[in-house]
């Protein structure tokens, strides 16, 4: 996918959040395949976007801080008003203005990973405002139901969603948005993150059947998680930026409602698809 040398604007949606991304490039960068993924999420919408990001692609100074950091600014009530993001290959700022997030970023180095970071943090802020959860998880769709696999990096999320699907369709590889409709209805929304080989088929929404917290082992085993254990794991894998009690309570409420569904499991698995019999 080649981009014009001046500017390219994408409007895309994740979990009903319209995002507009304007990419400016003074030279033709190596975008990788991620922009192609973003295109697959492109949406034609008439409402104003909730998140508008301008990404300026140019070489960064040599002395850029090497440790990724995210500093939030708060108003007197604890509401986030700005987010300053510094990474190995990007630096920028998100500012909230009239209910929308606007950002400007300078990016260099590895482009696709940098843009993912910028967009992921922006999306997490939107999710907190709505009471949704942006969960570190992959997901696959099987016979009309969505199975979510959560865990830290290296736990095997992508492996399950790409190599051990047993015929199921990958929905997300790295992050999913969970929206709680009611006790028995939790929607799983796909995101395009971490899909360099374009496994994903674009935006998908489905009803959550199981949420498995995965651990690699030499055998398969699956046990239901008690609500508090599920809350602990959910919080550990959800990005929470806010310090405001109201927003925190909303996030905790969402986490608790997911935990109380009885659909959260601890899944030990080895590298074969035999675990499916235990969770379907």
Partner 1 sequence: MVETDGVYRINSHVAFRTFGKELVVVDTLGQRLLRLNATGALVFRLLDAGQGLPEVAAAVARAFDTSVEQARIDALSFIEELEKRGLVERRVTT
Residues in touch with partner 1 (CB under 8 A): 78, 227-228, 231-232, 235, 240, 242-245, 248-249, 251-253, 256
Report the C-alpha gap between 17 and 43 in whole angstroms.
10
Tokens 């969960």 belong to residue: 135
Report the C-alpha gap between 193 and 180 in whole angstroms.
22
For the chain, state the CA radius of gyration. Answer: 19
Report the residue number, 10 or 235, with the smaller CB distance to partner 1.
235
Task: Name the percent of the chain in helix, strand, coil, to the closest 5.
Answer: 25, 40, 40
Q: How far is the CB of 230 from partner 1 (least distance, A)?
A: 11
Q: How far is the CB of 242 from partner 1 (least distance, A)?
A: 7
In which order are the strands placed within the sheet that holds 80-86? 7-14, 17-25, 51-57, 100-107, 90-97, 80-86, 69-74
Q: How far is the CB of 127 from partner 1 (least distance, A)?
A: 15
Q: How far is the CB of 241 from partner 1 (least distance, A)?
A: 9
Q: Which of 240, 259, 13 is nearest to 134 (CA)?
A: 240
Report the C-alpha gap between 280 and 248 in whole angstroms.
33
Report the residue number, 199 or 248, with the smaller CB distance to partner 1.
248
Report the residue number, 138 or 237, with the smaller CB distance to partner 1.
237
3-state secondary structure of 249: helix
Report the residue number, 204 or 244, with the smaller CB distance to partner 1.
244
Q: Is the CB of residue 135 less than 8 Å from the CB of residue 233?
A: no
Report the residue number, 134 or 171, with the smaller CB distance to partner 1.
134
What is the pairing mode between strands 51-57 and 17-25? parallel
Report the C-alpha gap between 275 and 263 in whole angstroms.
16
Query: What counts of helices (H) and strands (E) characterise the chain?
Result: 6, 15
Q: How far is the CB of 253 from partner 1 (least distance, A)?
A: 6
Report the residue number, 136 or 189, with the smaller CB distance to partner 1.
136
Q: How far is the CB of 233 from partner 1 (least distance, A)?
A: 10
Alpha helices in the chain (DSSP H): 34-40, 111-130, 157-162, 227-236, 245-259, 276-279
Q: How far is the CB of 16 from partner 1 (least distance, A)?
A: 25
Report the residue number, 39 or 228, with the smaller CB distance to partner 1.
228
């Amino acid at each position: 996918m080649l981009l014009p040398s001046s500017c390219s604007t994408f409007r895309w949606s994740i979990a009903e959040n319209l995002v507009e991304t304007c990419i400016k490039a003074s030279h033709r960068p190596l975008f990788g395949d991620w922009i192609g993924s973003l295109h697959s999420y492109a949406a034609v919408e008439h409402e104003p976007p909730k998140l508008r990001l301008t990404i300026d692609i140019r070489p960064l100074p040599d002395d850029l801080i090497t440790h990724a950091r995210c500093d939030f600014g708060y108003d007197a009530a604890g509401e986030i008003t700005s987010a300053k993001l510094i990474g190995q290959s990007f630096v920028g700022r998100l500012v909230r203005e009239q209910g929308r997030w606007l950002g400007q970023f300078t990016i260099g180095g590895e482009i696709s990973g940098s843009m993912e970071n910028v967009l992921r943090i922006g999306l997490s802020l939107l999710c907190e405002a709505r009471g949704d959860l942006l969960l570190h998880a992959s997901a696959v769709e099987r016979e009309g139901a969505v199975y979510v696999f959560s865990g830290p990096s290296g736990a095997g999320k992508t492996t399950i969603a790409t190599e051990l699907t047993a015929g199921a369709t990958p929905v997300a590889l790295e992050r999913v948005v969970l929206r709680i409709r009611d006790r028995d209805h939790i929607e799983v929304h796909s995101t395009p993150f971490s899909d360099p080989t374009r496994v994903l088929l674009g935006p998908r929404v489905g009803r959550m059947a199981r949420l498995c917290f995965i651990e690699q082992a030499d055998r398969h085993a699956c046990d239901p998680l008690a609500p508090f254990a599920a809350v602990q794991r959910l919080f550990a894998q959800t990005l929470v930026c806010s310090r405001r009690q109201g927003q925190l309570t909303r996030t905790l409420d969402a986490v608790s409602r997911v935990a109380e569904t009885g659909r959260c499991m601890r899944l030990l698995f080895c590298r074969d698809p035999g675990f499916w019999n235990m969770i379907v």
